[in-house]
Chain A
Amino acid sequence: MMINPDMQIEEVTLDNVVEKIKDFYDESEWNFITVNATDLGGKLQIDWLFSKYGAKNIIKIFRAQDVSYDAFIPSIVPVIPSAWLAEWELADLFGLEVENAATGVFIAPDGPKAPLRADTKL
């Protein structure tokens, strides 16, 4: 059978994403999956992804487009305590400045910097 996810995408900005997620998120109803960045050639698309407990195929995505490498990414940890790990990964693997994120957690200190950026050649 072919998968058929119901991807409900809502455009956000880095300025309003925390408020949008705060208004939307109910921990008994929604499962926070992760934060994902995709490098579209110098600009990033950042997605905050959720699935709905007990519902079929529903994926809610808050999407920020055209995010620059030097943007400041706000943390959603005050709303979703488990989000720190995915946020710290953004800092390590994309070299982004993420609010309250530690670095050196996913990559050893002598490892390559921001390996998932399109311009990082390995």
Chain B
Amino acid sequence: MGKIVVPFGSQHVALPEPISFLFDTENEIITKVEAHIGYVHRGIEKAAITRFEYNQLPYLTARVCGLCSITHAGAVVHGIEKLMDIEVNKRIDYLRMLVVELDRIHSHMLANGHVAEVVGYENLFMQTFRAREDVMDVLERITGNRVQYDYQTIGGVARDIDLETAEFAKKKLKKLKENVLKVMEFHDSDYTFGLKTKGVGVISKEMAAKYNTAGPIARASGLETDVRAEFDYLPFEEVGYKMQTRKEGDVWARNMVRFDEVLNSIEMCENILDNLPQGEHQVKVKGRPKGETVVRVEAPRGECFYYLKASGKKVMDRVRIRVPTYANIPILKELFLGAKYSDAQAIVLSFDPCMSCTAR
């Protein structure tokens, strides 16, 4: 059979966001890939250096992504605090860590649910999303929102938590852990689910390093990289952070490494809630940012990088955002080559792509 060109997106049932791939296929095997990712470029970097003052940037960058808004606001907050020489107290660190890890949990549950859906497991998708509701309840109680959280601010967090909220969160996390273990057991034991996900879209550790793969995608291939271990921005090791890796590098391993991280994040959140230091949830802030810095934070999807430059004015000189999906597009493009077209949906969704972030 000759070459057939198959469009995948920009509006596709498996893709919640607009990205387009053009596949050249021969006998349903993908032989060439063209990627288009610029459908919704929103100009946030331009807005950050023209229309918004530095103290509004956490609000602006939280809008890079609805799902990991905590990550983006956190990154810019860490950078601006460095440029203004602001040291926050330990309670603020712990509250920030709490929401960062809760954010990771709900994002990973969403990603794994979507993978289940596209490999034909509608019920597993719904079970995963049902379990996710517990962490959504906790985030809503702490931040006031289910998505688009404006929690981290320069010099602190928007609001403190009380003992009642801490108890509420612990109960919800306990229930979530039980449900996650059930869903993981299904991933581990279901033969047909394994057929659809094991050995599909395999990335070796060498490939992961060659293409500078980020986050759970890299760790599912055995590449030990996690910004929480490589960049001091919050004291993760104090609350039980452990890097999670798998070796298989396939769609299944990417889901499993995310579940492993969910369990570790639950443990970290429980430790934070049990050992929350005393202190105010805001410190005094004065001055204006000056100088340049880089910030790395571990978003749910992997390394999120910010470069900030300021010269003591209200508006920054440069705000550069490099998100994890952006880092993972080159390996994704390579991975399609030689894959069956029928596996393309599972491969894409196993990357947990975020075009909202990429086209920031």
* Interface set of A (CB-CB < 8 Å, partner B): 1-5, 7, 27-28, 31-34, 36, 38-40, 47, 49, 51-57, 59, 80-82, 84-86, 92-93, 104-108, 111, 115-116, 120, 122
Q: Which of A4, A38, A55, A105 contacts B38 (CB 8 A)?
A: A105
Residues of B within 8 A of A36 (CB): 307, 320, 322
Chosen A-B contacts, 8 in total, with CB atoms closer than 8 Å, are A2-B86, A31-B303, A33-B305, A34-B322, A53-B224, A59-B296, A82-B327, A122-B50
Contact A122–B322 (Cβ < 8 Å): no
Contact A106–B212 (Cβ < 8 Å): no
Counting CB contacts under 8 A, is B286 at the interface?
A: no
Contact B322–A53 (Cβ < 8 Å): no
Instruction: Name the prevailing secondary structure of the B interface residues.
Output: mixed
Alpha-carbon separation in the docked complex, A5 to B79 (Å): 10
Alpha-carbon separation in the docked complex, A27 to B39 (Å): 32
Residues of B within 8 A of A34 (CB): 305, 320, 322, 326-327
Q: Which of A31, A57, A93, A111 contacts B225 (CB 8 A)?
A: A31
| A97 vs chain B, min Cβ distance (A) | 19
Alpha-carbon separation in the docked complex, A57 to B326 (Å): 21
Of all chain A residues, which has the CB nearest B93?
A: A1
* Interface set of B (CB-CB < 8 Å, partner A): 35-39, 41, 43, 45-46, 50, 78-79, 81-82, 85-88, 93, 209-212, 224-225, 229-235, 293-296, 303, 305, 307, 309, 317-318, 320, 322, 326-327, 329-331, 359
Q: Which of A51, A84, A86, A93 contacts B296 (CB 8 A)?
A: A51
Alpha-carbon separation in the docked complex, A51 to B307 (Å): 13
Number of cross-chain contacts by CB at 8 Å: 127
Contact B41–A54 (Cβ < 8 Å): no
Q: A4-B232, A81-B210, A122-B43 are in contact. Are A104 and B78 (CB under 8 A)?
A: no
Contact B211–A82 (Cβ < 8 Å): yes
Instruction: Name the prevailing secondary structure of the A interface residues.
Output: loop
Contact A3–B295 (Cβ < 8 Å): yes
Alpha-carbon separation in the docked complex, A55 to B224 (Å): 11
Of all chain A residues, which has the CB nearest B329?
A: A85
Q: Which of B36, B39, B211, B303 contacts A33 (CB 8 A)?
A: B303
Residues of B within 8 A of A53 (CB): 224-225, 230
Residues of B within 8 A of A54 (CB): 224-225, 229-230
Contact B331–A82 (Cβ < 8 Å): yes
